[in-house]
Structure 1
């Protein structure tokens, strides 16, 4: 196969085989066995082909971090997959697989596993998959979720997508997952939902639609309402259950305390009229960001939103204060960019839809902020490292300065994360810089905010929440018309939702959602409620 030979000759780290022409070659001659000798590969994608079988020699590709095998005709995954100990992203969706080898759970670094749209009736116990963040097993034939799926040791597991199966029972220990924020069990055979779901600490997206619940009122609520309302209904049931049990007084006490706090917050809202207007993602023309498989092992978390009707010239210092605000958040909440990175873009210069991707350093081209010349990611990082070392020697320090510590986030990375517009232009290279092409100015009226992280999604939302609240307090919205009202009058900010999906269009996150921006003293007006 020409593509395989070329990859071998050029010692490539990435190989993509996809489409009708590749499929014809595989149908005629099978998959080229030389592929399994490309031990330098860290990204391999074979998709949309007639490929029905993988050789046990797959285990030779020990440097793979991303393995994408979706939309083929595979009937099995060889047990030798367990040799791929560096694997972080594995997508074997849209195949004909009836059983997964138990070896799949012995991949220590696996963060994202997609086995959706297959013929699985069971799955090996997953409690050993300590690094797992995202588990997609939707559109199979499961009658029960995998054993160990709610083991409290799965501290990173944030998304379970198990819709369109035949699951009949959801255990109450779902609350044991400390960072579960998305649970999709739509179109299954559930008749009851455990009331303990209301106590999942991070759960923000719960989809139970398409199940025939015995409690018809609950069933209607599930079909019509948002996660918050469903959790409140389950919470009331849980309170009643505990009220009958004298051993749950502690829970009752918490309930009263919560009501008291709620009342206090409502009282504060009556006196403060600052408001954020959240515009629902528009049916036409809404900005979409698609995550590629390549970026999942590098920097997998991103949230975006659009702030409209901004006035950065409201006072002589408005623009400068906004830039200073971002710097301050980078130093504090973002932990010197270690936890997250903020980028702001002039929306008028952004060509959507966008793609959050990862590129090899020599192939990532960007015009850095305040520069005019395009450079590679490789050159940019090299120059920053030299600058850091020069400053260290100049100041006679044993370590580099704080502004360069975030360079460690790219250390040993084969690919660098980047946000790319529809024309292929890189507009952001987190955590390093965003592009001069989309930089904001005093004349900017609509801002695209981008927050990315290599650690978790919650920190992205927390940073974005804080940035929007501070923008509101600074009076950068439409309602404060002069310098006097900026300091004393009511303020308003208009924020439009942006959706982040995977490459197949499955929703990853929409921001701000109903559970975001819930700050005391600020009224949140949502035009879709």
Structure 2
């Protein structure tokens, strides 16, 4: 007699959800008793399926039925193989099969032409399918396997989006010279392999900023020393060796070679064609900096918090810049925060904050707050009940089984005896994650300094990742106040618009300078989080944070 579907599967079916996450001891007990629920593979509307930290060794061929999957997370199981039917999930964008016991991958993996991120770290792979079809691939993680070479097709010129390859701790003996075909490669990690040489052509990867080669037995020991100093120095050295090699072969001398060297990495006299975006980091000042204390009560509820301050913002650059910043937070919650399941972002007007702050947890009936866009205060208990009642009424009215808006996050508090909150010096709640922040510190178009708060029950690294993405997206949005050079360019743009209007006889249209691609700048100040005894938990951004090579970081301290 067939057993009934698992409660998690029924919840997806009955509530019209598009995500299913299975992990934890309760899931493991059922898998050990009777295997994975086959009804999972009848959930054709799923977009995300996560099965993590379980004892499963195989996945059914019926996986192909979940054809709308865009994210498949199978990390830290005991998988020994994957089904060929995996190749039929052609909508997949994110695939994580790390931390398993895989020795090979199905050749049909090459059919996943929409993959953007593939994580196969921590397996026992000795070979890898051809990746030349992955034209959308940006991130490839294959560290800690038994690979003797990079995957076939890795140097295909069509992989124009590939920016990160992590292949450390394998048994790779050589790198292909064609690696220079990867025009957007930013990071290449081949540390702890069996490399004896490096292709000089690595110096021709135009965007390569991080090359990790430590732990290889390179014949040219100078390469290892240079790598310890900087990737730039290493690539310059490889470029010099490449020039010499081509000159010796008779193909690189003369005027052409000189012209090329003028444009090389090491020529400081020539101004770069494109100035880069910059995040300027202000150091935490003990007497002035913002401190947040994480109380013991919150550790069992939602223990991780990371904060930073964005300073000198200017939402007046365009009429809709503030609106776009609010939309940005919504987009981040949907994407990198995985619909707030992984983390939640809150923003506060710094001038309305009285610090130091306390991150704690309180009984729902005793926790008073004034929710965002509300005039009256209420308790967290009453707010959650009100939102649940609204959700039930809305579902009945629309005859749907799904939550909408803020209502869909209510399940994140299910079963919690205490609710997390962030309080100011006056003991007022200014944030109630993951539901809402509060009216007291609400930002507006005139806000110049914003405290960004990221909380999670998953990990500190999750908070840091979300915070970095938030800062980078804010940087690119152009909310940082510009310098004189930016003002001059804006004036030039306005003048050009006026000249065009005069020539055509039409009125000059307003110029939205916030969208112009002259270099953007964002000033970020460190915020410190300590525990109840004053010991440091995290200060952000630290020296190890903001390592994204897509922008430059200037740290205004020694």
Q: Same fold (TM over 0.5)?
A: yes
Q: Secondary structure at the match of 1:324?
A: helix
2:428 aligned with 1:424: no
Counterpart Cα distance in 2 of 1:96 and 1:108: 24
Match for residue 482 of structure 2 among 456, 470, 473: 470
Q: Calculate the TM-score normalised by the size of structure 1.
A: 0.61
**1:40–1:63: 8 Å Cα contact kept in structure 2?**
yes
Counterpart Cα distance in 2 of 1:227 and 1:526: 22
Q: Secondary structure at the match of 1:247?
A: coil
**2:337–2:344: 8 Å Cα contact kept in structure 1?**
no
Q: Secondary structure at the match of 2:85?
A: helix
Counterpart Cα distance in 2 of 1:421 and 1:183: 41
Counterpart Cα distance in 2 of 1:67 and 1:260: 43
2:233 aligned with 1:229: yes
Instruction: Report the counterpart of residue 323 of structure 1 in structure 2.
Output: 315
Match for residue 259 of structure 2 among 238, 253, 258: 253
Q: How does 1:500-511 map to 2 (within 5 A)?
A: 510-511=545-546
Instruction: Report the counterpart of residue 337 of structure 2 in structure 1.
Output: 357
Q: Which runs of 5+ in 1 are unaligned?
A: 267-274, 288-303, 313-318, 344-354, 380-413, 429-433, 451-456, 476-491, 499-506, 519-523
The 1:257–1:101 alpha-carbon spacing in structure 2 relative to 1, beyond 3 Å, is: closer
Q: How does 1:418-497 map to 2 (within 5 A)?
A: 424-425=433-434, 437=441, 439=443, 464=476, 470=482, 495=524
1:380-404: per-residue Cα shift (whole Å, max 9, x none)? xxxxxxxxxxxxxxxxxxxxxxxxx
Deviation at 1:358, TM superposition (A): 2.6
Instruction: Report the counterpart of residue 479 of structure 1 in structure 2.
Output: none
Counterpart Cα distance in 1 of 2:77 and 2:324: 40
Q: Secondary structure at the match of 2:338?
A: strand
2:233 aligned with 1:241: no
Match for residue 156 of structure 2 among 151, 157, 161: 151
Counterpart Cα distance in 2 of 1:259 and 1:104: 37
Instruction: Report the counterpart of residue 213 of structure 1 in structure 2.
Output: 218
**2:232–2:265: 8 Å Cα contact kept in structure 1?**
no
Q: Secondary structure at the match of 2:268?
A: helix
Moved more, 148-157 or 234-243: 234-243
**2:197–2:220: 8 Å Cα contact kept in structure 1?**
yes
2:298 aligned with 1:263: no
The 1:156–1:441 alpha-carbon spacing in structure 2 relative to 1, beyond 3 Å, is: closer
The 1:202–1:461 alpha-carbon spacing in structure 2 relative to 1, beyond 3 Å, is: farther
Counterpart Cα distance in 1 of 2:320 and 2:246: 42
Q: Secondary structure at the match of 1:132?
A: coil
Q: Secondary structure at the match of 1:186?
A: coil
1:447-497: per-residue Cα shift (whole Å, max 9, x none)? 6599xxxxxx9x95895497668258699xxxxxxxxxxxxxxxx996568
Instruction: Report the counterpart of residue 121 of structure 2 in structure 1.
Output: 116
Q: Secondary structure at the match of 1:470?
A: coil
1:9-53: per-residue Cα shift (whole Å, max 9, x none)? 333311111011111110111111111111111111111111111
1:37-95: per-residue Cα shift (whole Å, max 9, x none)? 11111111111111111111111111111111111111000001112121111111101
The 1:73–1:28 alpha-carbon spacing in structure 2 relative to 1, beyond 3 Å, is: same
Counterpart Cα distance in 1 of 2:345 and 2:547: 31
The 1:60–1:494 alpha-carbon spacing in structure 2 relative to 1, beyond 3 Å, is: closer
Instruction: Report the counterpart of residue 405 of structure 1 in structure 2.
Output: none
Counterpart Cα distance in 2 of 1:365 and 1:469: 22
Deviation at 1:252, TM superposition (A): 2.6
Q: Calculate the TM-score normalised by the size of structure 2.
A: 0.58
Q: Which runs of 5+ in 2 are unaligned?
A: 1-5, 273-277, 293-305, 330-334, 350-370, 375-382, 391-407, 410-419, 423-431, 455-468, 488-520, 528-541
- Considering only CA atoms, is the larger Rg found in Structure 1 or Structure 2? 2
Q: Secondary structure at the match of 1:240?
A: helix
The 1:47–1:67 alpha-carbon spacing in structure 2 relative to 1, beyond 3 Å, is: same
